[in-house]
């Protein structure tokens, strides 16, 4: 890993970056140590240049959206973290929307509503970016990204730009070809249905209220900690196991929704991982079901 050579390359080409960036400031869990280099490319050209420079200097590169599904190690991240949030922007063409990967889902949903387009209501309140939502095939309240996506523009492993249709995205429950093949999403095209703006707004308000009522949104978390087991619900299994309110250090199983592990008192990544293990072990002992993490572990 030739960090100095990588930094020099970024400097010479005007790519913004900082060193020793504290990652807890860039995740919804508010947990995580320092990244060696935190790069904020301003456009696709700078992103591709950054990725190629990282490869040439053997610097590992991690793509970051809103940090909403991550647990970053207390020891931080080796190499470069590449912040995608500048690759944003929304374009509406009739009943289709093209969105940059770094755009927030919230803004995408609001743009759809403001243009009387229905189909994205389910995503309102999911605290991620468009790219992150495609990576995980994010979903809620009976909808998922696969329902409204037409195509995406991505980078392959050699950083060549190409367009991929929905049929080749392999979108399934919390999975996609972006995750399995390592493609990097640049922008996504969605196809929606014409609807009534007020009705769309009412559905969005209702979904947001249901989120607020049921989920511990007043504490930092990474959303649902575990994937939904076939024919069951992680939160139900955890609650039945008597784990609501159980804690390790500053990490706690939410008393509001057992499917969430929250950072209620300056939790460390070590606290969260220990609590995840405790939950998995207890649920398995009591039900024979092995819970799988939805949260992604990143870093040293």
Handedness of CA 209, 215, 220, 222 (dihedral sign): negative
Catalytic residue ranges: 174, 224, 294
């Amino acid at each position: 890993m030739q960090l100095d050579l990588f930094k020099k390359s970024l400097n010479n080409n005007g790519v913004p970056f900082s060193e020793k960036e504290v990652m807890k400031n860039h995740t919804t869990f508010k947990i995580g140590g320092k990244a060696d280099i935190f790069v904020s490319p301003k456009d696709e050209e700078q992103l591709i240049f950054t990725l190629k420079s990282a490869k040439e200097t053997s610097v590992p590169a991690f793509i970051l959206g809103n940090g909403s599904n991550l647990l970053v190690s207390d020891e931080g991240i080796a190499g470069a973290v590449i912040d995608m949030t500048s690759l944003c922007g929304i374009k509406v063409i009739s009943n289709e929307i093209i969105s940059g990967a770094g755009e927030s889902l919230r803004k995408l949903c609001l743009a759809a509503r403001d243009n009387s387009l229905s189909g994205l209501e389910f995503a309102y309140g999911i605290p991620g970016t468009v790219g992150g939502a495609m990576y995980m095939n994010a979903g809620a309240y009976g909808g998922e990204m696969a329902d409204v996506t037409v195509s995406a523009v991505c980078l392959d492993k050699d950083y060549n730009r190409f367009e991929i249709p929905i049929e080749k995205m392999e979108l399934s429950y919390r999975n996609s070809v972006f995750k399995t093949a390592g493609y990097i999403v640049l922008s996504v095209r969605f196809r929606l249905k014409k609807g009534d703006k007020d009705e769309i707004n009412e559905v969005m308000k209702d979904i947001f209220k249901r989120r607020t009522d049921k989920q511990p949104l007043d504490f930092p978390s990474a959303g649902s900690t575990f994937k939904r087991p076939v024919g069951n619900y992680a939160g139900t299994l955890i609650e039945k196991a008597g784990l609501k309110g159980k804690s390790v250090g500053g990490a706690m199983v939410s008393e509001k929704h057992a499917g969430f592990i929250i950072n209620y008192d300056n939790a460390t990544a070590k606290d969260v991982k220990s609590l995840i293990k405790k939950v998995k072990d207890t649920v398995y002992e009591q039900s024979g079901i092995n819970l799988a993490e939805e949260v992604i572990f990143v870093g040293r």
